[in-house]
Amino acid sequence: MLTRLVSTLAAALLLTGLIGTGADAAATLRVTVTRAVSATTVLTGDSISITGRVSPARTGAPVVLQRYVGGRWGTVRTTTMTSAGTYRLTLSSWTYSSYRYRVVSPADSRRKSGVSASFVAKILTCERSSAPASGRAAWFTRPGLRTTSPIATQIGRLLCSAARGATVNIAMYFIRAGGDVDTILRSLSRVSRYRGVKVRILLEGRLYRSGTPLAPELTALKRYATVVLCQLGCQNERYGEEAKGAIMHHKFISINDMTWASGADPAVVMSSANWSQSQLRYKWQSAALSYRDASLHRETEKQWKILNACAGPGGCATWNDTVAKSSLSPSTDGISQRANLWHSTLATERLGNPGSGTGLTFSTWLAADPVASALRSYSCTPAHRTIRVAHMFITLARLSVIRALQELRAKGCSVYVVVGGVGGAKPGPGVMALREAGVNVTCTADVHDKIVLVDAVRIADGRPDRSVWMGSQSLSGNALRANDEAMLRFSTSGATPTAAHANAVVWNGFIGQWGRIHAKRASCG
């Protein structure tokens, strides 16, 4: 009985690494094991590299990584040493963990066992998303959700998918921490600290002046991001009362490299939502992702750099100095000013990759209204006659859009408009103008979306097209002429078959969002 107890105890001690094997007892050479750890805290999916040397060496002898769990050491990885005694082991996990580890060189006939100093490795949760198979994705939220906003969830996962050393440029009207927003900010903080991602954030400075409710938010943001403030818009250099109508109202994210593919694989997100709990949980909002569209990414990055230059001490003119000293073209990449409002020297939509069916329009915009111009480029047939709009509001400053909608209705198109508002409230002048134009217009509470949808026929070539315009730009005069804004377009016409299918899927997602908004409609008064 005693012999059996001793044997059992010896086996247990052997498993926990507290005593050696028979080979260890017979061996005469003492062994040392060094180890170096690339990091002691990483994010889920990232690797920790453990390297070191075993002395004396034995070519091909095993080297074991062990983890301490439940009072005993267990093997998690095994490799072999080189003729010089060096070794390399890697550790990673897709779930949160925090354990103590050590490296062991097991005993053999000549060498005793060797054990390194132990270390604790922590793997923090930063859930990644998968690359969209089509290169496109659209996310939506609605008032009254009882779970985290899908937009916040997907943006958080997107940020956790940024590659090591990537740059994330963000332009946002405002950011207020708390609730769903923490899902996003936690991801930003962690990829900055543990993956070396460079985070740069542009905000509307008027909202962050000393003594304002948002001012304390800057301290937390600056712990992991470079924060740039524009005062009353970045491209607005007007003064006095005239300046007050402009704001930096963008809501975009630009990432130059993701973990989804080898080489640079950029991503761009446009959204209607600012980062606050009220906007992400209690408003109708949308966001769209474009992946591996290098042209869209280049234009978005350039726009961020223009805004950043405008926010600097030398103002917007310094951007043209940068253009002059680079390979950029003043005629396509420069900016001009009129009455102290700066705008692109090339007043045209910036196209995505050839065949992508995508494009970007940035405000400030001093040319013809791009939404009205786009709408006027269509006619309708019995099979293609759908025009749908869901916007926070529309003002008489965008009368050309109202007239274009009226013209489409006269061509036989089915035109429906939903604007934000509460049923019974006195309708605004824009709504009244839509009614006078014979356009079907209703109101839905808490609309913050900015969506224009078309399923019609292009006049230029007679080809059917499904297009969606979305982003930060409201249908107001300041949004077009004075604010810093953006609209992203996805179209089936002019796209390759693969891209056209992907854009049609995006369109279907947005028409579904429009339908949900319309279902909650009421009279505008």
Q: What is the mean pLDDT of residues 406-430?
A: 89
Percent of the chain with pLDDT over 90: 89
- Residue 361: closest CA among 344, 384, 341: 344
Percent of the chain with pLDDT over 70: 93
Instruction: With cut-offs at 50, 70 and 90, classify the pLDDT of residue 524.
Output: confident
- Which residues lie below 8 Å from residue 91, measured CB to CB, with a gap of 6+? 47, 48, 50, 65, 76, 77, 101, 121
Given a contact cutoff of 8 angstroms between Cβ atoms, the answer to whether 31 and 56 are in contact is yes
The predicted pLDDT at position 1 comes to 41
Q: What is the mean pLDDT of residues 452-481?
A: 97
- Residue 252: closest CA among 224, 288, 284: 288
Q: What is the mean pLDDT of residues 28-48?
A: 96
Q: What is the mean pLDDT of residues 405-420?
A: 97
The predicted pLDDT at position 242 comes to 66
3-state SS, residue 14: helix
How is residue 116 annotated by DSSP? P
Instruction: With cut-offs at 50, 70 and 90, classify the pLDDT of residue 244.
Output: confident
Read out DSSP for 301-344? HHHHHHHHHHHSTT-THHHHHHHHTSS--HHHH-EEEETTEEEE
How is residue 38 annotated by DSSP? S
The predicted pLDDT at position 250 comes to 98
Asked if residue 325 has pLDDT above 70, the reply is yes
The Cα 87–Cα 437 span in angstroms is 77
The Cα 61–Cα 79 span in angstroms is 8
Given a contact cutoff of 8 angstroms between Cβ atoms, the answer to whether 335 and 322 are in contact is no
Q: Which residues pair with 360 in a beta bridge?
A: 350, 488
The predicted pLDDT at position 26 comes to 55
Given a contact cutoff of 8 angstroms between Cβ atoms, the answer to whether 208 and 229 are in contact is yes
- Residue 518: closest CA among 444, 453, 454, 409: 444
Q: What is the mean pLDDT of residues 79-102?
A: 97
- Which residues lie below 8 Å from residue 242, measured CB to CB, with a gap of 6+? none
* CATH 3.30.870.10-classified regions of the chain: 136-519
Residue 491 host element (H or E): strand 485-491
Phi-psi sector, 292: left (phi>0), alpha (psi -120 to 50), beta: left
The predicted pLDDT at position 457 comes to 98
The predicted pLDDT at position 238 comes to 87
The predicted pLDDT at position 370 comes to 97
Identify the weakest region by mean pLDDT among 28-37, 121-130, 421-430.
421-430
Asked if residue 470 has pLDDT above 90, the reply is yes
Instruction: With cut-offs at 50, 70 and 90, classify the pLDDT of residue 6.
Output: very low
Instruction: With cut-offs at 50, 70 and 90, classify the pLDDT of residue 424.
Output: low
Instruction: With cut-offs at 50, 70 and 90, classify the pLDDT of residue 28.
Output: confident
The predicted pLDDT at position 75 comes to 97
Cα 356 to chain centroid distance, Å, stands at: 20
Q: What is the mean pLDDT of residues 391-413?
A: 97
Asked if residue 487 has pLDDT above 90, the reply is yes
What is the sign of the dihedral through the CA atoms of 316, 321, 326 and 332?
positive
3-state SS, residue 329: coil
The predicted pLDDT at position 425 comes to 64
Asked if residue 4 has pLDDT above 80, the reply is no
Instruction: With cut-offs at 50, 70 and 90, classify the pLDDT of residue 10.
Output: very low
The predicted pLDDT at position 148 comes to 96
The predicted pLDDT at position 186 comes to 98
Q: Which CATH superfamily is domain 22-124 in?
A: Immunoglobulins (2.60.40.10)
- Residue 119: closest CA among 20, 48, 31: 48
The predicted pLDDT at position 320 comes to 97
Q: For residue 364, is the peptide bond before it cis, meaning its omega torsion is within 30 degrees of 0?
A: yes
Cα 524 to chain centroid distance, Å, stands at: 35
Instruction: With cut-offs at 50, 70 and 90, classify the pLDDT of residue 490.
Output: very high
Identify the weakest region by mean pLDDT among 337-341, 394-398, 493-497.
337-341
Asked if residue 12 has pLDDT above 80, the reply is no
Residue 309 or 6, more confident:
309
The Cα 436–Cα 525 span in angstroms is 14
Identify the weakest region by mean pLDDT among 70-84, 241-255, 488-502.
241-255
The Cα 488–Cα 38 span in angstroms is 41
* CATH 2.60.40.10-classified regions of the chain: 22-124
Asked if residue 3 has pLDDT above 60, the reply is no
Radius of gyration of the chain (CA): 30
User: The domain at 136-519 falls in which architecture?
Assistant: 2-Layer Sandwich (3.30)
- Which residues lie below 8 Å from residue 429, measured CB to CB, with a gap of 6+? 395, 396
Instruction: With cut-offs at 50, 70 and 90, classify the pLDDT of residue 292.
Output: very high
Instruction: With cut-offs at 50, 70 and 90, classify the pLDDT of residue 245.
Output: confident
Looking only at the bridges linking them, the beta strands covering 450-458 and 464-471 are antiparallel
Cα 113 to chain centroid distance, Å, stands at: 50
